[in-house]
């Protein structure tokens, strides 16, 4: 069974640009969550999508947005990039949400110059 | 506001010793607690999930306990091996389904 796939693995952008990250969940999983991991702040929850609807949201500015498609694949978009957005972005999928084990992808390493 | 703390931040043990990793939290109104391991440059691997109504979960050499009244969870790894070297994180889920992670404990098991 294929795991959670995140693309691209690495990305370099400059301040002010925007970026879109992609996450393909495990087949049959309907919940996809996104996280930001930095050395200073650790792992922080961004948002969760279930059946194409945002079900939960963390404390991030509106520059961070996402969506989920009918096949459960999810994308995360960050607009007007700032230096502080440099991080490892992880997505996790589960069958139905937080009451199930979360399966993580290997992440997208985003560097802002 | 929920605070999740993992102490110590780093731990080094010789192979064969038992590992004891701690996770403490300030608000006992949690939905569940999960333990994960993270290898360098990789995502997280779920180890154990304890629902709020449970006291412990076991899988092979791993055992995790949950005491909501004292705000503590402990992950035990028996007979540690070099392959157990990784960062271990605990994560709480609140009743709204939001996750909050601890900062992790970096474990090194020396041969």
Residue A2 has pLDDT above 80, yes or no: no
Average pLDDT of chain A?
94
Nearest residue on chain B to A89, alpha-carbon basis = B43
pLDDT for the residue numbered B99 = 86
Reported for B24-30, long-range contacts at CB under 8 A and 24+ positions apart, including other chains, are B24/B71, B24/B72, B24/B73, B25/B71, B25/B72, B25/B73, B25/B92, B26/B2, B26/B71, B27/B1, B27/B2, B27/B71, B27/B94, B28/B68, B28/B69, B28/B71, B29/B94, B29/B95, B30/B68, B30/B92, B30/B93, B30/B94, B30/B95
CA angle A71, A76, A81 (to 5 degrees): 165
Question: What is the per-residue pLDDT for B1?
Answer: 80
pLDDT at A96 over 90: no
Residues in chain B with CB shorter than 8 Å from the CB of A104 are 36, 43-46
Closest CA of chain B from A13, distance in Å: 20
Tell me what the mean pLDDT of segment B22-50 comes to. Answer: 93
Average pLDDT, chain B: 94
pLDDT at B60: 97
Smallest CA–CA distance, residue B64 to chain A, in Å, is: 14
Report how far residue A48's alpha carbon sits from residue A104's, in angstroms, rounded to the nearest whole number. Answer: 13
With 90 as the cut, is the pLDDT of residue A97 above it? no
Q: Which residues of B touch A105 (CB under 8 A)?
A: 43
At B2, is the pLDDT very low, low, confident or very high (cuts 50, 70, 90)? Answer: confident
Chain segment A27-83, per-residue pLDDT in tens: 999 999 999 999 989 999 999 999 999 998 999 999 999 999 999 999 999 999 999
pLDDT digit string, tens, across residues B54-89? 999 999 999 999 999 999 999 999 999 999 999 999
**pLDDT over 70, % of chain A:** 99
Q: Which residues of chain A are within 8 Å of residue B91 when distances are taken between CB atoms?
A: 43, 102
Check whether A18 has a pLDDT greater than 90. Answer: yes
Position A1 pLDDT exceeds 70 = no
A21 pLDDT higher than 70: yes
CA distance A23 to chain B (A): 13
């Amino acid at each position: 069974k294929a795991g959670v796939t995140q693309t691209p693995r690495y990305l370099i952008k400059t301040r002010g640009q925007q970026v879109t990250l992609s996450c393909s969940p495990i087949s049959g999983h309907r919940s996809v969550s996104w996280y930001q991991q930095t050395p200073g702040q650790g792992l922080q929850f961004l948002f969760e999508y279930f059946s194409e609807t945002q079900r939960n949201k963390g404390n991030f500015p509106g520059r961070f947005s996402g969506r989920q498609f009918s096949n459960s694949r999810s994308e995360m978009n960050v607009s007007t990039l700032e230096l502080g957005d440099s991080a490892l972005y992880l997505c996790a999928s589960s069958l139905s949400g937080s009451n199930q084990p979360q399966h993580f992808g290997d992440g997208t390493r985003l560097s802002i110059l | 506001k929920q605070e999740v703390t993992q102490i110590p931040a780093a731990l080094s043990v010789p192979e064969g010793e038992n590992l004891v990793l701690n996770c403490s939290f300030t608000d006992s109104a949690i939905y569940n607690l999960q333990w994960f391991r993270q290898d360098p440059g990789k995502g997280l691997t779920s180890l154990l999930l304890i629902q709020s109504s449970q006291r412990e979960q076991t899988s092979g050499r791993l055992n995790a306990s949950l005491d909501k009244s004292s705000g503590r969870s402990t992950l035990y790894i028996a007979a540690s091996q070099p392959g157990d070297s990784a960062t271990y994180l605990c994560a709480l889920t609140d009743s709204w389904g939001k996750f909050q992670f601890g900062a992790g404990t970096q474990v090194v098991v020396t041969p």
